[in-house]
Amino acid sequence: MPKLVATDLDGTLLRSDLTVSDRTLTTFSRLERAGITLVFVTGRPWRWMDPVLAQTGRRGRVVCANGAVVLDGASGEVLRNWTIPTETLRTVTTSVRESFPDAIFAVERGPRMLHEADYPVRHDLGRTDEDLVSYEELIAEPAEKLLIRAPSVEAAELWTRCTRVFDGTVTATHSGFRGLIEVSATGVTKATGLAWVAQHYGVDPDGVLAFGDMPNDIPMLSWAARGVVVAGAHPEAAAVAHTVTTGNDADGVATYIDALLDEAEAATPR
pLDDT digit string (tens) for 109-130? 999 999 999 898 865 566 788 9
- How far is residue 115 from each of residues 62, 120, 199, measured CA to CA in Å? 25, 9, 34
Q: What is the mean pLDDT of the chain?
A: 94
Question: What's the DSSP call for residue 123?
Answer: G
User: Average pLDDT in the 147-162 region?
Assistant: 90
Q: Is 255 exposed, middle or buried (0-12, 13-18, 19+ CB in 10 A)?
A: middle
Query: What global pTM score does this model have?
Result: 0.94
Closest residue by Cα to residue 132 from 117, 150, 147: 117
Q: What is the model's pLDDT at position 125?
A: 61
Going 94 to 99 to 104 to 109, the CA torsion angle's sign is negative
pLDDT at 69: 98
Q: List pLDDT tens digits, range 177-226.
A: 788 999 999 999 999 999 999 999 999 999 999 999 999 999 999 999 99
Angstrom distance (rounded) from CA 189 to CA 240: 16
For the cut 90, the answer to whether the pLDDT of residue 234 exceeds it is yes
Interatomic CA distance for residues 160 and 100, integer angstroms: 13
